[in-house]
């Protein structure tokens, strides 16, 4: 079972990443993916820029542990987590999570599990700039509720 976990400080091409992942897991019956990107909204609350910072000694090891936890819970053929840090603009990819499995339910669950953990318990500090200035973003109550589903 192959895992690919990367933390990047520059842009990545999600279509190319997903195509390579899918091709390398042709034995899988299903590949499920999630792409998180910077919202491109209009109006006063529009996000002009998003910045993610992290604590390097913990971030990548924590992401690898997360991928290993998914592999331990479900029958996977492969797991992919690619996460950006730094400054990004509207429409820029932030995170790509994919899971390949013989059966779709395992792939869906593993991708969902990883995103719930990345959204609520990740090693990133996130802030966004709107027309009103910079503000820190914290996980919402619903993010914590999503995480609680996994026990």
Q: What is the pLDDT along the chain (151 residues), one digit of tens a residue?
A: 689 999 999 999 999 999 999 999 999 999 999 999 998 777 767 889 999 999 989 999 999 999 999 999 999 999 999 999 999 999 999 999 999 999 999 999 999 999 999 988 778 999 999 989 999 988 888 877 877 888 8
Number of domains comprising the chain: 1
Q: What is the CATH number of the domain that holds 9?
A: 3.90.1170.40
Q: What is the pTM of this model?
A: 0.92
For residue 41, the enclosing domain spans 2-148
**C-alpha distances in angstroms, 142 versus 9, 83, 135, 146, 148?**
28, 22, 20, 6, 10
43 φψ region: left (φ > 0), alpha (ψ -120 to 50), beta (else): left
Position of tokens 């992401």?
63
């Amino acid at each position: 079972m192959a895992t690919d976990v990367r933390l990047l400080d520059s842009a990545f091409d999600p279509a190319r990443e997903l195509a390579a992942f899918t091709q390398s897991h042709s034995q899988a019956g299903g590949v499920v993916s999630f792409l998180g990107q910077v919202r491109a909204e209009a109006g006063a609350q529009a996000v002009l820029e998003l910045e993610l910072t992290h604590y390097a000694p913990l971030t990548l090891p924590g992401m690898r542990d997360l991928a290993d936890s998914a592999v331990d819970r479900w029958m996977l053929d492969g797991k992919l987590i690619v996460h950006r840090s730094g400054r990004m603009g509207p429409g820029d990819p932030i995170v790509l999570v994919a899971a390949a499995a013989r059966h779709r339910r395992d792939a869906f669950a593993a991708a969902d599990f990883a995103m719930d953990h990345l959204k609520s318990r990740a090693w990133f500090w996130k802030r966004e700039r709107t027309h009103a200035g910079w503000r820190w973003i914290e996980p919402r109550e619903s993010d914590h509720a999503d995480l609680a589903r996994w026990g």
